[in-house]
Every structure is written in structure tokens, then in C-alpha cells.
A = this chain, B = another copy of it.
Amino acid sequence: MLLSKSCVYGLRASLFLASREQGEFIPIRTMSDKLEISFHFLTKILQQLTAEGILESFKGPNGGVRLTKPGSEVPLMDIVLAIDGSQLLTECALGLPGCGIKNPCPLHDKWAETRDAIREMLEHTTLTELVNKGKAENLRLTTEGGFDILFDD
């Protein structure tokens, strides 16, 4: 898989957060229920995002997590880097150790192109962009429901 499961869950939760009013703390339990993700697992993932400064958290009643920046300033890349690290964009198609451009393998040129396409996509797509699209067309973030299910509290 391109992205790990943790990463995908992190992205979905981030989209959820970006779809809410900024500044509002959302309990992880709410997200895990709506997004159909194990609560404890999602908690661990979001802790990583908090540690990276992408989210901030607040304990106790009315607590939860929220984005530290408006979703329009958060490219998908930030979340991918925080959870999966940079392997996808630095590591290589043939996985040869210690490889740079100095001593390339035959696949390098073609792979570099493809990899750049992936990088571009992740860097130039923001949470808000996807949220707007998702709201407009009622696209889905979960197995069954459309984007709107996130809002019938």
C-alpha cells in the first residue's frame, strides 16, 4: 500500500477536524465513532499528530483535539510525513541501501518522475480543499455514509 493504515486514519480524522469550525475541540471518541475507527488506535495516531504540532489537545470535559492551523494551510503531506515519515519520497523503487543519485539503479529516472507526481499531489492538496469538495458533492469518508453523516450530532 502507498500509505499505511495509520496514515489513512490520520488523514480521515484530519479531514473531519478541518470540516468543523476552527478552534472547536472534538473528542477523539466522536471521531472514532463517526469514522468507524478503533478508538484506542485512533488515539495513538492522533497523539503522533499532536506531538508533531499538527494538532493540539485538551484534556477533560469539553476537551478533544483540533488543528493548530486552518485546514487551508495544511497540505496532506504534513500528515503523511508525521505518520509515515519521508520514506515514500526518499526511499527508492528498488530499495537499494544508501542510494542517492550518485550511484543510481536503472529504474531511477522513471521512478523519480513518478515519485515527484506523488509528492506534488500531497504537497498541493490541502485539507480544506478536500473538505469543500467533499461537502459540495457529499463524498464519503467512511464505508457507508456520505460527508454529511459527520454532522448529525
Contact = CB atoms under 8 A, between A and B. Distances in A.
Interface of A: 1-3, 5, 8, 11-12, 15, 87-88, 91, 93-98, 103-108, 110-111, 113-114, 117-118, 121, 125, 130-131, 133-134, 139-143, 146-147
B131 A121 contact: no
B95 A8 contact: yes
11 contacts: A1-B91, A2-B93, A11-B107, A15-B106, A96-B143, A98-B143, A104-B139, A104-B140, A106-B147, A110-B121, A110-B125
Given A8-B93, A110-B121, A111-B121, 7 more contacts: A1-B91, A2-B2, A12-B94, A103-B146, A104-B140, A105-B140, A106-B130
